[in-house]
Structure 1
């Protein structure tokens, strides 16, 4: 059985594209981290989440994931509040940023961990657009305070890399990891 160590409904939907049969066991891992490099950070946190759940499911395939946004040398996770979300969206406005997702798959004592990156181009946003967006979209559980698959799609001029990585789970990359472990 595949176990997804995530409470994210988006990750559940994306994992269902790979395997329709899986369970969710939310990780209780401490997500604090002092690693500055965002790619190393997401790998570390994905491993923590997978390891936390794998303790209870040692014979199952466990998937942990973590996503952050990197813009202008700053790393954005989930916003702390609406002012933090405004700050993030202002920083992304008219700029290029990177979405990094770390994925860890454990299976019978074996472990594969990778980081996937997608480059995202945002068009300039005026303050009114930011306020309207924050009023209509729940951004508090989204790294960088936006959902590319939601109404923030209108802000995205283009991407380089995996679209699904920006949503929260790099489907093709994860599929490749599962194949390496003979789990699909």
Structure 2
């Protein structure tokens, strides 16, 4: 997990995104990479010890997803790919908020977030299958939510948008209307920091556009 420039001795044939998230798929596509991108949905274990820091949680979960994708790869591409794993969490007062279990849980999360600042952490792991060169990093963005009343919160939850989002909101969707300001990378809140990913891919000799 080094920071030095790394050149893959074997020609990379593809990028593998270990995520079923359409948002991450769109973000990777926006880089304009010349390599094809394979999407693999993984079932990596997402349980973590309570004493892990938020940054360590997202880094380790991203790495688990990347490793799980490697196990699914077969054929020549298995040894000529760069795997990308990513994980995003919302943190309020040190407490991790994941995806809501149901509508009531989403209302509860948004009630806690409204009118306050929280942090969004996204971990990214890349693995070059040729020699297993691995990089694991994260970004953190601060997000301030508008004050919202109960009716506004329940109306937003009724749209269904919060139900598969960490922290119960989507900054790239209707949820943007509930965000007052952010400090840091916007795409990190969406689910994948493009500037971070571009730097990491650069260490494998892969450059955008």
Q: Is the CA contact (8 Å cut-off) linking 1:137 and 1:151 kept in structure 2?
A: no
**1:53 to 2:69 alignment:** yes
**1:6 to 2:22 alignment:** no
Q: Distance in 1 between matches of 2:20 and 2:205?
A: 25
State the shift of 1:137 in Å: 3.6
- Structure scoring higher RCO (CA < 8 A, sep ≥ 6) equals 2
Q: Distance in 2 between matches of 1:29 and 1:5?
A: 10
Aligned pair count reads 184
3-state secondary structure, aligned to 1:144: helix
Q: Is the CA contact (8 Å cut-off) linking 1:69 and 1:143 kept in structure 2?
A: yes
2:37 maps to which residue?
Answer: 22
1:33 maps to which residue?
Answer: 48
Structure 1 residue runs of 4 or more that deviate by more than 2 Å after TM superposition: 55-58
Q: Distance in 2 between matches of 1:111 and 1:48?
A: 12
State the shift of 1:154 in Å: 1.2
Q: Distance in 2 between matches of 1:16 and 1:38?
A: 27
Q: Distance in 1 between matches of 2:137 and 2:29?
A: 20
2:59 to 43, 54, 61: 43
2:8 maps to which residue?
Answer: none
Q: Distance in 2 between matches of 1:130 and 1:84?
A: 12
State the shift of 1:138 in Å: 2.2
Q: Distance in 1 between matches of 2:23 and 2:204?
A: 24
TM-score normalised by the chain length of structure 1: 0.96
TM-score normalised by the chain length of structure 2: 0.85
Larger radius of gyration: 2
2:186 maps to which residue?
Answer: 163
Q: Provide the aligned C-alpha RMSD in A.
A: 1.2
Which consecutive unaligned segments of at least 5 residues does structure 2 have? 1-13
